[in-house]
Structure 1
Amino acid sequence: MIPLKDENSTLSTPILSYAIIGICIIVFLIQISSPGFDNGNLFYSYGVVPASLLGTEALPNDLNKIDPYFTLITSMFMHGGFMHLIGNMLYMWIFADNIEDDLGKVKFILFYLASGIAAAMTQVYLNVNSTIPMVGASGAISGVLGAYMIRYPRNKVLVLIPFGFFSQMVRIPAIVVLGFWFILQFISSSGSSGQGGVAYGAHIGGFVFGAATMFFFGNFLIPQKTFFKALNEKEDKKKNPWIQD
C-alpha cells in the first residue's frame, strides 16, 4: 500500500516541510559525493551509534567528528540510499504539511525534531550495545504520521495497491493507511535482529510519540482559530463542490 496524496488542503504554505525535504536531498547529494559514503565512515561519524551514545564503546578517533548527542540531530537529515530517501520524502510530502499548518512553524519544527530524538532513543535503548549507525528521517516522519492519524483519522488518502497487472488506486481513511503501516512496523520488528537493516524500533517510538503528543496535548498546541478555520473550510467545500484541494 503506497500513499500518493491526501485529500486535506492546508491553509498556508508548508515552508518548513518543503525546507526539510530540500535539506535532506541536498545532504544526500553531499553524502554520495563524499569519499566516506561508500565505506560507511560518514554514517559512523554523523549517524547515531547506540554504544557510542551511551558511552559503552568509543568510536575510533578518525570517526569521532562530533559529540555523540549531536548525532541525534544530524542523523535525521542523512539517508542510506536513494530509495531510503525517496520513501521518506514521499511520506513527508503527503502528511507533514497538515501538521505544520496546525502547529505553526515554530512548534512544528520543535515537534519534528523531538519526534526524531524520541525515535532514535527508542532504537538506542532497544539495542544498547549496537555499533551499527542509524540514519534517516524515518523516526521524525513517523512522529508526523502518528500525529496525523490522531488529528485526521477520517481523511481519505489515495493509495496505490501494487498487485501486478491488477494494481489499482483507491481512497482509504488515514486511520486505516497509517494503522496498517504501524502494525507492519511491529510485525517487521519482531523478525528483526537489530543488527543492521531497518530501525523498526525507531519507527514505532516516533509514531507513538507523535500520536501521544497530539492526543494529550493537541488542544494546547493547536491555536483554536486554526482549528475552527479548518473546520469551516471543510464545510465550505461540502457546500461548494467546485472548491478544489
Structure 2
Amino acid sequence: MRLPFVNYGLIALTVLIFLIQSTLPPAAFEAAAINFGMIPIVVRDLYPQPVPWLPDWANLVTYAFLHADWLHLLTNMLFLWVFGDNIEDALGHAKYLFFYIACAVLAALAHLLLNINGNGPLIGASGAVAGIMGAYVLLYPHARVFVLARIVWLIPLPVPAFWMLGFWIASQFFYVLVGSDEPVAWWAHIGGFAAGVVLAPLLRRKGVVLWGGR
C-alpha cells in the first residue's frame, strides 16, 4: 500500500480539531471536553447529555479526537504515525478505519466499566492508538523500532516491537496495580490494546500472516 491515506487523514483531523480547541478561551476549552468527551454517567444516561442533539453513545467516538494539551496530542500522533501505516496496509483502508473507531469505542467501554460512576471526561486518542499497538505486536512483532535509551546520553537503539510494546502494556498493568494518582486512563489503554489483539486477526487482509510469518 503506497499511501496510507486513512491514517494520514486521522492524524490530520485530530490535529485540526486540537488547533481549533487551542483557539478557545480556557472555559470554552473545558466545555468542549465536557460536551464531547466520554463521561461514564452521561453514557449510562444517569446524567443529561450536555449537547442535546448528540446521542449519548456518540461520545464513545468523539472523545478520541480531543486532547488536553500539545504533549498529549503529539505523543498519540507520533505513535499513530509510526505504527498506523503498517496496520492500514495489513487491514485495507476501509477496515482500518472501522478498526480504529472500534478500538476507540472498546477502550472507552473498558474505562467506563472500571469507572462506572465516573463524572470526569475521558479524552484522547490513546485507546485507539493502543489498539494499533496491540495489532502491531500480533502482526509485526519482529520489526525493529528505535527507542531512546540513556547510556550516559540519549542513544537511539533498535528494539524488536514485541519487547518495546510488550513493556508498554506491562507498564499500564503496573500502574493499575499500584494505584497511580496520575490523571491517565490506564484501563482505556489496556482495553484498546486488547481490542487490537482480538480484532486484527479477524480483519487482516488475505495473505497477511500472524507473528510476522515466523
What does 1:40-119 align with in structure 2 at a 5 Å threshold? 40-58=30-48, 64=52, 66-119=54-107
Q: Which runs of 5+ in 1 are unaligned?
A: 1-10, 232-245
CA distance in 2, matches of 1:162, 1:77: 33
| Match of residue 116, structure 2, among 107, 119, 128 | 128
| Match of residue 186, structure 1, among 157, 173, 178 | 173
Q: Which runs of 5+ in 2 are unaligned?
A: none
Q: Secondary structure at the match of 1:187?
A: helix
Cα distance, 1:13–1:198 mapped onto 2, change above 3 Å: same
- Corresponding residue for residue 174 of structure 1: 161
- Corresponding residue for residue 242 of structure 1: none
Shift of 1:13: 1.1
C-alpha contact (below 8 Å) 1:143/1:206 kept by paired residues: yes
| Match of residue 140, structure 2, among 115, 131, 152 | 152
Q: Secondary structure at the match of 1:169?
A: strand
TM-score, normalised with respect to structure 1 = 0.80
Cα distance, 1:122–1:89 mapped onto 2, change above 3 Å: same
Q: Which piece of structure 1 moves more, 88-97 or 196-205? A: 196-205
Q: Secondary structure at the match of 2:153?
A: coil
TM-score, normalised with respect to structure 2 = 0.90
Shift of 1:64: 5.0
RMSD: 2.2
CA distance in 2, matches of 1:168, 1:115: 33
- Corresponding residue for residue 222 of structure 1: 205
CA distance in 1, matches of 2:42, 2:180: 19
Cα distance, 1:152–1:39 mapped onto 2, change above 3 Å: closer
C-alpha contact (below 8 Å) 1:99/1:144 kept by paired residues: yes
Q: Which piece of structure 1 moves more, 99-108 or 65-74? A: 65-74
Cα distance, 1:162–1:78 mapped onto 2, change above 3 Å: farther
CA distance in 2, matches of 1:162, 1:84: 23
What does 1:230-245 align with in structure 2 at a 5 Å threshold? none
The code of the aligned residue for 2:189 comes to: H
Shift of 1:90: 0.4
Q: Secondary structure at the match of 1:132?
A: coil
Shift of 1:145: 0.3
Asked whether 1:207 is paired with 2:193, we answer yes
Cα distance, 1:37–1:208 mapped onto 2, change above 3 Å: farther
Shift of 1:35: 3.3
The code of the aligned residue for 1:187 comes to: F
CA distance in 1, matches of 2:206, 2:27: 43
Cα distance, 1:37–1:99 mapped onto 2, change above 3 Å: farther
The CA deviation string for residues 123-165 of structure 1, in whole angstroms up to 9 with x for no partner, is: 01100101000011110111000000000011111111246x4
C-alpha contact (below 8 Å) 2:21/2:29 kept by paired residues: no
C-alpha contact (below 8 Å) 1:45/1:65 kept by paired residues: no
Asked whether 1:19 is paired with 2:6, we answer no
Asked whether 1:161 is paired with 2:161, we answer no
Cα distance, 1:154–1:144 mapped onto 2, change above 3 Å: same
Shift of 1:58: 3.0
Aligned residues: 211
The code of the aligned residue for 1:17 comes to: N
